[in-house]
Amino acid sequence: MNPLLPEPSTIQIVRGNPDPHELAALTVVLATVLATGFPEDDDPPATVASRWAAPFLSAPALSWAARPHPAWRPLF
Q: What is the per-residue pLDDT across 24-61, written as a single tens digit (0 to 9) for each?
A: 888 898 888 888 776 667 766 666 565 555 555 555 55
What residue type is 4 in one-letter code? L
Higher pLDDT, 12 or 62: 12
Higher pLDDT, 6 or 8: 6
DSSP string covering 13-46: --SSSPPHHHHHHHHHHHHHHHHH----TTPPPS
Confidence of residue 75 (pLDDT cuts 50, 70, 90): low
The pLDDT assigned to 53 comes to 55
Name the nearest CA neighbour of 68 among 49, 44, 52: 52
26 CB contacts (<8 Å, ≥6 apart)? 11, 13, 18
Name the nearest CA neighbour of 32 among 44, 24, 41: 24
Domain-wise residue ranges, the chain: 49-76
